[in-house]
Structure 1
């Protein structure tokens, strides 16, 4: 499973499901090129952990204001014809700007401390090496998402998201 986020100029956005499917049908070379240009982000199974980094886990007190953050959540849902497949989610420029503002202003060290506390409360403390690798992985995802959203916001782009299975 891969969670894809792709920046699209608003004038190119179409409302039909085949267009959205085609948007994510490129080969991996094209995807890697867009990722290098911060026009696309691909998160593997870590996307759940990244989402919890920003929103808190299991209703963590004090994080309710982040639940509707458009970084990985929120947006206009475009269902696929096959209901078993995850929908597409579209963020307009105003939600892209909101996500960007959050990411740029976020203190990664504080987010990481809260995420580790949540994990420890529910699952026990991870081994130090595992925690360090997990932290590094989340830090990289945070940098990639921040760079992606900053570029999308500067261009006035919409962001289209989907989970590819």
Structure 2
């Protein structure tokens, strides 16, 4: 039976770039996401679409269906003083806020005396990725989950209304 859009899927996975394991949640908390909402890379989502609970498979996701091709022009020279208080190192991953308010990830490419060159490519851009993936669970999403796009397992617990209130922004 095919997994349908807006179903909540729970997976265990290991991803390799060649022989090197670059990410894994094996033996840890499963990755929980809403199918068909772009919450995981397209190539992996397409590969698991016809899987069922308990199934395990190996899949090769091509770069264009993972984090995209590497864009040599996705670099920017930024004044070094914008990184005040950060002990910069070449290869370091930094997170910031994009123009749309979303989180962006950059990698420090070069450190000069006055400026820093950052790369906006995802560290795995341009790489074909080998996944071993198991389907732990598939369930229907609630109306609230569909509206928010966030599975209950991924929602932040709120302390508002519990009487705790102090320090949680309530």
Give the TM-score normalised by the residue count of structure 1. 0.31
Q: Which has the larger radius of gyration?
A: 2
Larger strand proportion of the pair: 2
Give the TM-score normalised by the residue count of structure 2. 0.31
Which of structures 1 and 2 has the larger relative contact order (alpha carbons within 8 angstroms, sep 6+)?
1
Larger helix proportion of the pair: 1
